[in-house]
Amino acid sequence: MVGLAAQAGHPVYDVIGVGFGPSNLALAIAAGERGAAGPRALFLERQAEFGWHRGMLIEDATMQVSFLKDLVTLRNPASEFSFLTYLHQNGRLIDFINHKTLFPLRIEFHDYLEWAAGKVGDVVRYDREVQAVRPIRTDGVIDAFEVTSAGQHGTSVDRTRNLVLGVGLKPYLPAGITRSDRIWHNQELLTRVRELDGRTPGRFVVVGAGQSAAEVTAFLHETFPKSEVCAVFSRFGYSPADDSPFANRVFDPDAVDEFYSAPEDVKQMVLDYHGNTNYSVVDAELIEALYSRMYRERVLGTERLRTFNVSRVVDVLDTDEEATVTVESLSSGQKAQLAADVVVYCTGYRPADPVALLGEMGELCRRDSEGRVKIGRDYRVQTTGELQAGIYLQGGGTEHSHGLASSLLSNTAVRAGEIVESIVDSQAAQAVERPTAVPDFAGSH
């Protein structure tokens, strides 16, 4: 790869990935599978070890995407990082085949991700939170970045020609709601339940109508057989996810090309039409199971599972003794108060400003009329001529340009390959333009 003139003793990476969830894990694999021709990569992760939605690894919860949409298969079916290879190495391949399912347990898929992360551990530094990204200028243009990160073992500074921002989405809570011992976001469910240390809350209130809300409701109802669980949502009932074959094509790699090149009004139309493949929807089997529980309890006269449909939470008063939840019926306007020991908000996630880490350099990133960052088909942020080093987005901040699969596992393998391809091609083009470039500095990960 093309070199960069820099101070002696500073290794220069071809790419630094900020965050090490499934997206950047797939990127690390895609880069590594190119061998010596691939970009020299480093990944910085603020967690102490690999982890992906650990708080929602409910024992019987299954994935909502096929195991074939793993970290590599859609890009390289022969990869040694495939879910099938993981199963084979763990002696479960035949058992999984006999199970006759495309959807493994979520906890098993997490184990697969940990297994894959362990195989590329030499390019990752855990317990490293990126604090600043500063420009490195050559002949008046920014052609590299200086990345400062910190952790328990001090602060370090690394240099790179390209950044891949894979920091994910942030848990969302409604305005005025603050987490506490009684108010949780579902992201932390299992951690919070363990902290109860055997105590049995009298009543849980679960806010939300999507898959996570339904899973949390079912989990709490089963885990705490003496507790009441109240589900509050604005819909008449849980809505089933559209996972039919034709609708699922919206997640195909080819669909990204079609979406990216479509006019803005068509993009919005597609997002509106097919939002029910992913947002505020629930697997049909889980809906059936929850309804069966409610009906059984009604027959037995022991109604612990209650729903407040066509309703919303308008106020929560959190005290040392309890949380008083005011629920308003959207149809009648009547209000009811529920004394709850725990309120779990299953209100999803929101993307942060995807280029916030860049500081003042963020002003060099082009934005559209809606204020959204402009992104190339290769997931590279479009910038002014002054900023020539590459910035790529993984996941958050790309749905408006690349469609519904942009932050989901469905297209992770292909997306990672496209980003690596773009980085390699860009570096090759620069090498042609600057044939006298200084060779890469040697440096360890």
Q: Domain 12-168+352-433 classified CATH 3.30.70.20?
A: no
pLDDT tens string for the chain (445 positions)? 444 544 445 789 999 999 999 999 999 999 999 999 999 999 999 999 999 999 999 999 999 999 999 999 999 999 999 999 999 999 999 999 999 999 999 999 999 999 999 999 999 999 999 999 999 999 999 999 999 999 998 999 999 999 999 988 899 999 999 999 999 999 999 999 999 998 999 999 999 999 999 999 999 999 999 999 999 999 999 999 999 999 999 999 999 999 999 999 999 999 999 999 988 999 999 999 999 999 999 999 999 999 999 999 999 999 988 999 999 999 999 999 999 999 999 999 988 788 889 999 999 999 999 999 999 999 999 999 999 999 999 977 899 999 998 878 999 999 999 999 999 999 888 776 654 443 343 333 3
Hey, which CATH number is domain 171-241+279-349, 3.30.70.580, 3.30.420.40, 3.40.50.720, 3.50.50.60?
3.50.50.60
**Rounded alpha-carbon distances, angstroms, from residue 388 to 273, 300, 383, 420:** 37, 68, 7, 17
- Show the tokens assigned to 330: 């959207």
* CA–CA dist 317, 188 (Å, integer): 21
Whole-model pTM: value is 0.92
* CA–CA dist 387, 373 (Å, integer): 14
Which part of the chain has CATH 3.50.50.60?
A: 12-168+352-433, 171-241+279-349
**pLDDT of 142:** 97
* CA–CA dist 305, 312 (Å, integer): 17
Distant-in-sequence, close-in-space partners of 57: CB < 8 Å, separation ≥ 6 = 106, 107, 110, 190
Which helix (H) or strand (E) element contains residue 339? strand 335-340
Distant-in-sequence, close-in-space partners of 367: CB < 8 Å, separation ≥ 6 = 373, 374
**pLDDT of 440:** 41
